[in-house]
């Protein structure tokens, strides 16, 4: 009895244990984030955000300025990082450290909000769910917009979710939502749904106030950058319905250099990878949907309204980003990182719905749960073939070499023959199936992880059946088997997120050494090689974009910051340059005017090699840039006087 009392005391919602566990999870997150911030290699987006932000915040250019940098995202995506660059100094290190602090602020907001919605234990559990996912921590430790957007989103929700919210909190929430939208326009759905939720949950008076404040702030930002800011909405506004915006539309853009014809299987792979890397986010949403409570089962009207709002928001953002990443051909494998923008919604959704879940779903719903679990297991298996395919193929071929005793009509004679035969030979003799290890390598590499995932799902269900039956004999259970399967599925996957088959899978920006120091060393070397005032032809589409932060005083064509992603073949040169993009004609002119040419391997098709055949001297620079495998090699040419 005394032991039972101690356990009850330890696990009370207000006990010190839950606070210690949450604090420990936060520390583990922080340590990983600091490690990744120092070791991850950079990417073009990271360098572009920081360098454009520095140019904008310093007043050298303005967002959406004609013939300035390509403002391909909402203005605050650049201005906020640029502000911190001006405060703490330009460089990748200051950008990364700010990203770490923003990630911790996101974690704090998540903990507080989940604590209000579901209690202290749910809050601690969600801190650990994030701390156990290396993929999410890596994304939030880079100086890209995912971490900033997630932070703004979680604090927007922190000030609006609740039964009794003060007016100033709802106004602040609305203003944060506006800042969020003008940080990444792909989050535009947040603002209207938030205002509708405030009307629904907090009443008409506060709803009209939030609508007025939100609309005024939304229009004010547009006025600050009018009219070119309307460019960010053009991809979503059909030309036939918005002819008044034709002055912003390019009539002749030529051919984009980056054109990808993506196969359906590649789209499927990108979709399934999102379940691996963002397991708790994706499968947690499925859990909520399959155990969605009946109307009378909700703990309160507040819980039901909040759950509906969060579900609509999460599903809406998921569909929008799936359409952009999976349906289009621009960037299929961006879908998994895109989930990082809004993945913080799932922990809130789980916390607000958990107390009302359908404990005894009907047979049809339970059957769909079992099928769903097997499908997800199989899909995760398939999507991991790049990491596990060759290893499983080797193991499979070794199994085929196992020696078996020779038999003939064994079940009639019950006798073995002399000698042995391999399992491969037995299959070939018995079934006529020839397994050639030198053919179909790609097939084995893909099919074996898929089969392994399916078999793992069957094993999971089988073991859970045994445990469920054994436990039910001694303890009455409120949940049916299907509900237990789904809850266990989410819990187990979240705990195992560090595994390579899930969030611990390979990440293209991993580096085993201090990459920040390497960038600083290479940047300082380039600053010595390229004196201030030099006219630089910069044709780089890689992690080396971050090196621009270390070369102050150079003259750079701002349209080149995004490399080949802003490059076109043909088109109206002046119009392309006006909106911050460039083409082959501009490249030819700039090459003639340049004092220094800096290119990487992605620039091979943009014409620079025609110029450097004579009159240019190649300069040796440290390569690769950050000292990691897969880093780009820079090629620098200086004009001979």
Q: 19 or 438, which is more confident?
A: 19
Do 522 and 622 have their domain in common? yes
Distance between CA atoms of 641 and 629, rounded to whole angstroms? 36
Tokens 């990444």 belong to: 184
Q: At what angle do helices 92-118 and 44-57 cross, to 10 degrees?
A: 100
Output the pLDDT for position 2: 44
In a domain, 73, yes or no: no
Distance between CA atoms of 387 and 377, rounded to whole angstroms? 16
Lowest mean pLDDT among 158-162, 264-268, 626-630: 626-630
Cis amide linkage into residue 316, ω under 30° from 0: no
Count the Cβ atoms, other than its own, within 10 Å of residue 139.
Answer: 28
Residue 23 pLDDT grade (very low, low, confident, very high; cuts 50, 70, 90): very high
**To 10 degrees, the CA torsion angle through 427, 433, 437, 443?**
-120
- What kind and span of H or E run contains 619? strand 616-619
Output the pLDDT for position 201: 93
As a whole number, mean pLDDT of residues 485-498 equals 92
As a whole number, mean pLDDT of residues 162-170 equals 90
Do 479 and 371 have their domain in common? yes
Do 622 and 589 have their domain in common? yes
Decide: 448 and 396 in contact? Cβ < 8 Å: yes
As a whole number, mean pLDDT of residues 348-360 equals 92
Q: Residue 134 pLDDT more than 70? A: yes
List C-alpha distances in Å: 339 to 136, 184, 269, 462, 492.
9, 13, 15, 32, 21
As a whole number, mean pLDDT of residues 284-311 equals 92
In a domain, 550, yes or no: yes
Q: 450 or 264, which is more confident?
A: 450
Calculate what percentage of the chain has a pLDDT beyond 70: 87
Do 487 and 611 have their domain in common? no
As a whole number, mean pLDDT of residues 476-488 equals 87
Do 375 and 435 have their domain in common? yes
Q: 400 or 298, which is more confident?
A: 298
Do 565 and 485 have their domain in common? no
Q: Residue 349 pLDDT more than 90? A: yes
As a whole number, mean pLDDT of residues 372-390 equals 87
- What kind and span of H or E run contains 493? helix 481-495
Output the pLDDT for position 377: 94
177: nearest Cα among 429, 568, 169, 362: 169
Do 539 and 621 have their domain in common? yes
Which tokens sit at 468? 């469920």
Q: Residue 6 pLDDT more than 50? A: no
Lowest mean pLDDT among 221-230, 257-266, 412-421, 474-483: 412-421
Output the pLDDT for position 12: 58
In a domain, 411, yes or no: yes
Output the pLDDT for position 195: 97
Decide: 570 and 583 in contact? Cβ < 8 Å: yes
In a domain, 453, yes or no: yes
The whole domain housing 533 covers 515-639
In a domain, 491, yes or no: yes
Residue 9 pLDDT grade (very low, low, confident, very high; cuts 50, 70, 90): very low
Output the pLDDT for position 169: 94
Q: Residue 539 pLDDT more than 70? A: yes
Full DSSP string of 412-424 = HH--EEEEEEEHH
**Hey, is 22 helix, strand or coil?**
helix
Lowest mean pLDDT among 12-26, 134-148, 213-227, 339-353: 12-26
In a domain, 429, yes or no: yes
Q: Residue 34 pLDDT more than 60? A: yes
Boundary residue ending a domain (464, 495, 526): 495
- Residue 336 makes CB contacts below 8 A (sequence gap 6+) with 135, 270, 273, 274, 276, 277, 278
Output the pLDDT for position 10: 46
Lowest mean pLDDT among 136-145, 175-184, 204-213, 268-277: 268-277
Output the pLDDT for position 228: 92
Output the pLDDT for position 417: 61
Output the pLDDT for position 109: 95
Phi, psi torsion values for 616, nearest 5 degrees = -130, 145
Do 524 and 462 have their domain in common? no
- Residue 60 makes CB contacts below 8 A (sequence gap 6+) with none
Output the pLDDT for position 4: 44
Distance between CA atoms of 453 and 383, rounded to whole angstroms? 10
List 569's β-bridge partners, or say none: 255
Radius of gyration of the chain (CA): 28
Tokens 């535009």 belong to: 188
Distance between CA atoms of 576 and 570, rounded to whole angstroms? 10
Q: At what angle do helices 345-353 and 92-118 cross, to 10 degrees?
A: 10
Domain count, the chain: 2
Distance between CA atoms of 446 and 406, rounded to whole angstroms? 32
In a domain, 344, yes or no: no
Decide: 178 and 190 in contact? Cβ < 8 Å: no
Q: What is the pLDDT of residues 398-414, one digit of tens each?
A: 776 777 676 665 555 55
Do 542 and 634 have their domain in common? yes
Boundary residue ending a domain (447, 467, 495): 495
Do 490 and 523 have their domain in common? no
Boundary residue ending a domain (495, 529, 559): 495
Q: Residue 64 pLDDT more than 90? A: yes
Which tokens sit at 575? 């119009």
Task: Calculate the average pLDDT of the chain.
Answer: 86
Do 625 and 582 have their domain in common? yes
Q: Residue 8 pLDDT more than 60? A: no
In a domain, 196, yes or no: no
Output the pLDDT for position 605: 61
568: nearest Cα among 236, 239, 252, 328: 252
Q: Residue 11 pLDDT more than 60? A: no
Residue 607 pLDDT grade (very low, low, confident, very high; cuts 50, 70, 90): low
Do 491 and 604 have their domain in common? no
Q: Residue 463 pLDDT more than 50? A: yes
């Amino acid at each position: 009895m005394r032991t039972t009392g101690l356990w009850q005391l330890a696990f009370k919602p207000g006990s010190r244990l839950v606070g210690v566990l949450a604090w420990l999870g936060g520390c583990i997150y922080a340590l990983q984030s600091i490690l990744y911030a120092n070791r991850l290699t950079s990417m073009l987006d990271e360098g572009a955000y920081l360098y454009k932000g520095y140019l904008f915040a310093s007043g050298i250019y303005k967002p959406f300025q004609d013939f300035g940098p390509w403002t391909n995202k909402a203005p605050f995506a650049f201005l906020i990082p640029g502000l911190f660059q001006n405060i703490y100094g330009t460089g990748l290190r200051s950008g990364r450290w700010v990203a770490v602090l923003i990630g911790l602020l996101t974690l704090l907001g998540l903990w507080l909000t989940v604590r209000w919605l579901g209690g202290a234990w749910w809050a601690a559990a969600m801190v650990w769910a994030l701390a156990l996912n290396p993929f999410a921590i890596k994304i939030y430790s880079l100086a890209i917009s995912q971490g900033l957007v997630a932070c703004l989103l979680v604090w927007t929700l922190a000030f609006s979710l609740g039964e009794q919210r003060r007016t100033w909190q709802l106004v602040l929430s609305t203003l944060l939502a506006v800042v969020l939208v003008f940080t990444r326009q792909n989050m535009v759905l947040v603002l209207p749904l938030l205002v509708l939720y405030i009307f629904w949950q907090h009443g008409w008076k506060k709803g009209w106030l939030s609508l007025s404040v939100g609309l005024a702030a939304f229009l004010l930002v547009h006025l600050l950058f009018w009219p070119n800011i309307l460019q960010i909405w053009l991809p979503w506004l059909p030309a036939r319905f918005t002819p008044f915006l034709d002055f912003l539309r390019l009539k002749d853009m030529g051919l984009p250099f980056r054109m990808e014809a993506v196969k359906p299987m590649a789209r499927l792979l990108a979709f399934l990878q999102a379940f691996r890397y963002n397991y708790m986010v994706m499968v947690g949403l499925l859990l909520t949907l399959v155990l969605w409570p009946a109307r009378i089962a909700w703990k309160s009207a507040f819980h039901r309204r909040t759950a509906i709002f969060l579900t609509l928001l999460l599903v809406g953002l998921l569909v929008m980003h799936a359409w952009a990443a999976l349906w289009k051909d621009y960037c299929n494998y961006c879908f998994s990182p895109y989930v990082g923008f809004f993945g913080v919604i799932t922990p809130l959704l789980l916390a607000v719905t958990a107390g009302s879940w359908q404990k005894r779903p009907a047979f049809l719903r339970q059957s769909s749960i079992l099928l769903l679990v097997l499908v997800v297991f199989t899909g995760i298996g398939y999507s991991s073939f790049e990491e596990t395919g060759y290893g499983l193929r080797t193991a499979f071929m070794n199994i085929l070499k196992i020696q078996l005793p020779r038999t003939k009509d064994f079940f009639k004679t019950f006798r073995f023959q002399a000698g042995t035969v391999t399992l491969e030979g037995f299959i070939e003799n018995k079934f006529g199936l020839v397994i050639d290890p030198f053919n179909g390598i790609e097939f084995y590499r893909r099919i074996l992880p898929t089969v392994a995932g399916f078999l793992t799902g069957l094993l999971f269900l089988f073991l859970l059946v045994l445990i469920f039956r054994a436990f039910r004999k001694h303890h009455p259970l409120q949940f049916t088997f299907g509900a237990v399967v789904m809850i266990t599925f989410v819990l187990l996957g979240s705990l195992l997120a560090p595994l390579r088959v899930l969030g611990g899978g390979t990440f293209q920006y991993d580096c085993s050494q201090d990459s920040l120091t390497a960038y600083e060393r290479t940047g300082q070397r380039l600053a010595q090689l390229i004196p201030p005032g030099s006219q630089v032809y910069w044709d780089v589409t890689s992690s080396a974009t971050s090196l621009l932060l270390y070369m102050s005083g150079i003259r750079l064509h701002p349209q080149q910051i995004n490399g080949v992603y802003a490059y076109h073949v043909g088109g109206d040169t002046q119009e392309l340059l006006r909106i911050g993009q460039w083409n082959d004609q501009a490249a030819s002119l700039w090459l003639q005017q340049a004092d220094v040419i800096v290119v990487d391997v992605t620039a091979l098709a943009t014409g620079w090699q025609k110029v450097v055949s004579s009159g240019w001297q190649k300069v040796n620079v440290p390569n690769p840039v950050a000292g990691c495998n897969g880093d780009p090699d820079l090629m620098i040419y200086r004009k001979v006087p």
